[in-house]
Structure 1
Amino acid sequence: MTRLACAAGLAMAAALLAPVAASAQIRVEALGLTLGATPALASDYLFRGLSQTRNRPAAQLTLEALHDSGLYLGAFASNVSFAGSDARQELDLLAGYRFTALDIAWDLGGVLYSYPGYTRPAGGYRFDYAEAVLKASRSFDAVTLLGSVAVSPDYFGQSGLGVYLEGGLDVALPLGLTASGRLGHQWIEREPRFGTPDYATWSASLSRALAAGVTLAIGYYGTDIARGRCAGGQKICDDRVMLVLSRNF
């Protein structure tokens, strides 16, 4: 069975199991908080163009608590699979501040990436790392321009300074569709430790909100990493089509 067919089966099952009535975010007026959860099923887990599941499906969950002041806390969880590693889960903790200035929406925060259950082998490298992230977006009618930069003093696998820069846009289309495009570049100080050279990544996707708060997205993702320079010749850097089904609560 192909990855896309497998994901389509998961998507259909999730849609059938979803409650008929849409669920909204939870509002806690006394604390000025908005609580949200977004479970998702995907045909792959791509992070900056690289498969984190070795081309297998992923089940994911994003949680967030947003205060009226713009401060927020969040978490993201997913299954992962790295060659030669016993890491099976990823758990990220997020915190930051959202605000608007100069007609631009800003998001200044940090992310701690962790891999519970991972056993670091003798002579191996640590997987956990942290990043500072700045995001910005501005909307012009049906078009939203986006940009972000992420900096880690010691990136995944103790690969030294890591810097990621990304730009893109979302375009609202008829029939409730949204077209999205992204172009990014990852710089890595110690390339041999990470397993790839510095690289560019891109994507083009189409999404649509369905009934009961469900969103279906399909996209094409790629990098400029040659097969022979991708983590020992693995197929985790190849171009691919990915399908994602998510639901906002």
Structure 2
Amino acid sequence: MLRSTLLAATALAGGIALAPQASRAQQTIDSLGLTVTTTPAITSDYMFRGLSQTRNRPAAQLTLDVEHESGVYVGAFLSNVAFAGTNARQEVDLMAGYRFAIGDLKLDLGATYYAYPGYSAPRGGFELAFYEFALRASYEIAPMKFVGTAAYSPQFTGESGAAYYLEGGFDLTLDYGFTVSPRVGYQWVERNIVPAAGSRDGFFGAQDYGYFSLSVSREIVGGIIGTVAGIYNTLSTERGGVANDCFGGSKICDNRFTLTLSRPF
């Protein structure tokens, strides 16, 4: 299977994760105890965990979050994608979980199913869809909010076996409405590269890697949030004087800057 095809399912539910919510717009349905947040967005490059999901191209996205007053929630995320050597053109993520607090510590225990409607695995290829469990935490000491994520998938994208992901960082609120958000993460995958001859196991297509991002966001006008982010990942560097083979040389691992506009409702 082409290495470049195996990146697809690294997309995050809520693909504007690099853009912290400078303001949170919500709609409430009091009779049902529900809070509904809808966030359309456009971005210059759909990035997740330091890797491009659209091969350096723009994306239009929509995130829906419906939370009950008990803390139980469901949601969905939609985006266009582009993966060399595949017919995957859209992503639909389905989410469910439970949000609660222990004192000032806020926790989110949830699961996400990453689906690619219309995708069909090529001959000798593997499925891109997978599901993942995650624990997210946040703790605020104004003007700073610390955040962290730990995620596990029993069968990662490309049928590449168990995968683990850790991420940490903080959001710092500054004067004039700016928010600065550094993030650092690391992705482990059980089967990274092509297995031994004769094996029918799937594989991810690249080595385990880390990434770092730094974003600055601010409400521009009418609730529209603008976010500029710089992203670096270890797959974009050279090791031992030899350039990394990033998913077949598709350049989805290049370091870059991105611009995202979003509007929560």
1:174-212 deviation per Cα after TM superposition (whole angstroms, max 9, x unaligned):
000000000000001110121110000110010001222
Q: Kindly indicate whether the alpha-carbon contact (under 8 Å) linking 1:165 and 1:184 is maintained by their aligned counterparts in 2.
A: yes
8 Å Cα contact 1:151-1:163 kept in structure 2: yes
**RMSD of aligned Cα (Å):** 1.4
- Counterpart in the other structure of 1:73: 74
Deviation, 1:24, is 4.7
Match of 1:229 among 220, 226, 245: 245
Taking structure 1 as reference, are residues 57 and 106 closer, same or farther at Cα in structure 2, changes over 3 Å only?
same
Q: Which structure 2 residues correspond to residues 9-158 of structure 1 after superposition, within 5 A?
A: 24-158=25-159
Residue 215 (1) aligns with residue 231 (2): no
State the identity %. 50
Please give the alpha-carbon distance, in whole angstroms, between the structure 2 residues aligned to 1:185 and 1:80: 22
Q: Is the Cα–Cα contact under 8 Å of residues 73 and 94 in structure 1 kept in the other structure?
A: yes
- Residues 153-162 or 225-234, more deviating: 225-234
Structure 2 partner of 1:16: none
Q: Does the 8 A contact of 1:197 with 1:229 survive in 2?
A: no
Unaligned 5+ residue runs, structure 2? 1-22, 194-202, 238-242
Could you say which residue in structure 2 is the equivalent of 1:6?
none
Q: TM-score scaled to structure 2, two decimals?
A: 0.84
Determine the C-alpha separation between the residues in 1 that align with 2:29 and 2:65: 13
Tell me if structure 2 keeps the 8 A contact 1:49–1:237: yes
Q: Secondary structure at the match of 1:175?
A: helix
Distance 1:122 1:108, change over 3 A: same
Q: Is the counterpart of residue 206 in structure 1 residue 207 in structure 2?
A: no
Q: CA deviation at 1:76?
A: 0.2
TM superposition outliers: structure 1 runs of 4+ over 4 Å: none
Q: Equivalents in 2 of 1:248, 1:128: separation in Å? A: 27
Tell me which amino acid in the other structure corresponds to 1:78: S
Question: How far apart, CA to CA, are the structure 1 residues paired with 2:191 and 2:171?
Answer: 33
Q: What SS does the corresponding residue of 2:31 show, helix, strand or coil?
A: helix
Q: Write 1 or 2 for the structure with the bigger share of helix.
A: 1
> AA paired with 1:235?
K
Could you tell me how far apart the structure 2 residues matched to 1:66 and 1:211 are? 27
Provide the rounded CA distance (Å) in 2 between the counterparts of 1:224 and 1:155: 20
8 Å contact kept, 1:195–1:229: no
Give 2:260's aligned residue: 244
Deviation of the 1:228 alpha carbon: 2.7
Report matched runs for 1:187-206 at 5 Å: 187-192=188-193, 193-206=203-216
Deviation (angstroms), 1:25:
2.3
State the alpha-carbon separation in 2 of the partners of residues 61 and 72 from structure 1: 17
- Cα distance between partner residues in 1 of 2:24 and 2:51: 32
CA distance in 2, matches of 1:134, 1:23: 21
Q: Distance in 1 between matches of 2:179 and 2:73?
A: 26
Partner of 1:175: 176
Provide the secondary structure at the position in 1 that maps to 2:244: helix
1:10 is matched with none
Q: Higher relative CO (CA 8 A, sep ≥ 6), structure 1 or 2?
A: 2
Size of the aligned set, in residue pairs, is 228
Q: Do the aligned partners of 1:217 and 1:244 also contact (CA within 8 Å) in 2?
A: yes
| Partners of 2:100 and 2:62 in 1: CA distance | 25
- Farther off after superposition, 225-234 or 161-170: 225-234
Contact 1:87 1:116 in 2 (8 A): yes
1:132-178 CA distance string (max 9 Å, x none): 00000100010011111010001111111110000001000000000
**C-alpha distance in 2 between matches for 1:139 and 1:230:** 37
Q: Which residue of structure 1 lines up, in the alignment, with residue 7 of structure 2? A: none
